[in-house]
Chains A and B, each alone.
Chain A
Amino acid sequence: QVQLVQSGSELKKPGASVKVSCKASGYTFNKYNMNWVRQAPGQGLEWMGWINTESGNPVYAQGFTGRFVFSLDTSVTTAYLEISSLKPEDTAVYYCLKDGGGIKDWVLDNWGQGTLVTVSS
């Protein structure tokens, strides 16, 4: 079955960087795009963008350009989210999500368990 397993919680100081991993299994990795969604504590869901798992080309939503980088290592079927120059307002749970593809294009049909990133001095 499809599984997206994310790396563990992180506690970082302001100005530091963090890299969250998302290991995919149970499907052909480069046939379905990977999305990222942020959920601040007690808040709703905010789509950050997606990465084309065939070309490696990322697309960022407004508000997630500059400090946020999506990348892949297809040899280990893993997607990454790197955030630099961390700010306290980046404190959130970050989810990786598989695109449904085909008739479920842009439907987010499988979610990772989430990675809590806490930014605090």
Chain B
Amino acid sequence: DIVMTQSPDSLSVPLGERATINCKSSQSVLYSSNNKNRLAWYQQKPGQPPKLLIYWASTRESGVPDRFSGSGSGTDFTLTISGVQAEDVAVYYCQQYKSSPITFGPGTKVDVK
């Protein structure tokens, strides 16, 4: 199984500042057929189901604000929130879909100061 890790476990970011969340996979999630990474990011607000933010490591899902961006390749990935808003308080999960079983990172909790 591909093991996903995230850092930090939590972070508190001043309103309007940048938040950076890291995700690492135990094996490369690069898909050789199209040279893209099978890595997604989800946002889970309190009391709600997770919501897809980004797939293929850097493609924003329709309707997701452009302050959310994803980057990275191979085994190391980053989710950046540029200009954190109050409504971004949530737990963020990375997920690999390169191989079965699908696996998620443990989550990073983001608070806004």
Contact = CB atoms under 8 A, between A and B. Distances in A.
A107 B104 contact: no
Interface string B48-70: 01111001100001000000000
Contacts, number: 52
A111 B104 CA distance: 15
Interface of A is mostly: strand
A89 to B, nearest CB: 18
A114 B50 CA distance: 10
A110 B42 CA distance: 11
Kindly state the interface size class of chain A when it binds its partner. 20 to 34
A62 B93 CA distance: 21
B49 A95 contact: yes
Contacts of B56: 103
Given A107-B40, A108-B40, A109-B61, A47 B101 contact: yes
